[in-house]
C-alpha cells in the first residue's frame, strides 16, 4: 500500500502522458457508491483548501483516475487527473483503489493494463 502511494505521488510529480480518452473504463462488478460523508469531506476540502471548483446543491464534481491493473487483477497504482485540488484528487484515487479491490470483472489480460475510472460527486438540490 505504501509503495503504491509512493509510486502514485512520484507519478504526480512527473506525470505520465496519459491519453485519457483512449483508456478503457475500469471493469467494476458493482459501481462504487458515494456516501453523504464522502460528499461532506470533498466539500470541506474544496472550501478549506480554497480550490477553484464549484460545489453545492445541484452541482457535480468529477475526477478521472487512471488505474494500472496487473495480470492477476490487482491494482498496481492510481493516478488522478489534475483538477486544481490535490487533496480531492488523492481522495478520489484512493476511493477508486479501494472500490476496485475484489470488485473487478474477470479479464483476459496477460500484462499490466491501464484503465480509467471517473468519480462523480453530486450534491442534491
For CA atoms 100, 105, 3, 15, give the dihedral sign: negative
Alpha helices (H) along 22-85: 36-48
pTM comes to 0.84
Number of H helices, E strands in the chain: 3, 4
pLDDT at 16 over 90: no
Cell of 87: 487533496
Strands of the sheet containing 75-80, edge to edge, are: 24-25, 113-122, 60-69, 75-80
- How far apart, in whole angstroms, are the C-alpha atoms of residue 69 and residue 124? 33
What stretches of 1-125 adopt beta strand conformation (E)? Answer: 24-25, 60-69, 75-80, 113-122
- How far apart, in whole angstroms, are the C-alpha atoms of residue 58 and residue 80? 24
> pLDDT for 59-80, tens place per residue?
999 999 999 999 888 999 999 9
The number of beta carbons lying within 10 Å of the beta carbon of residue 77 is 22
> pLDDT for 100-121, tens place per residue?
999 999 888 789 999 999 999 9
pLDDT above 90 coverage of the chain, percent: 77
Amino acid at each position: 500500500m505504501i509503495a503504491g502511494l509512493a509510486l502514485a505521488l512520484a507519478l504526480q510529480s512527473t506525470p505520465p502522458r496519459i491519453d485519457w480518452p483512449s483508456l478503457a473504463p475500469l471493469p467494476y462488478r458493482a459501481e462504487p457508491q458515494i456516501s453523504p460523508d464522502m460528499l461532506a469531506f470533498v466539500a470541506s476540502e474544496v472550501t478549506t483548501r480554497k480550490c477553484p471548483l464549484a460545489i453545492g446543491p445541484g452541482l457535480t464534481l468529477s475526477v478521472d483516475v487512471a488505474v494500472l491493473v496487473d495480470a492477476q487483477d490487482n491494482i498496481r497504482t492510481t493516478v488522478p487527473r489534475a483538477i486544481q485540488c490535490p487533496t480531492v484528487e488523492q481522495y478520489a484515487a484512493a476511493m477508486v483503489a479501494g472500490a476496485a479491490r475484489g470488485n473487478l470483472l474477470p479479464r483476459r489480460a496477460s500484462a499490466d493494463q491501464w484503465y480509467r475510472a471517473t468519480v462523480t460527486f453530486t450534491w442534491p438540490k
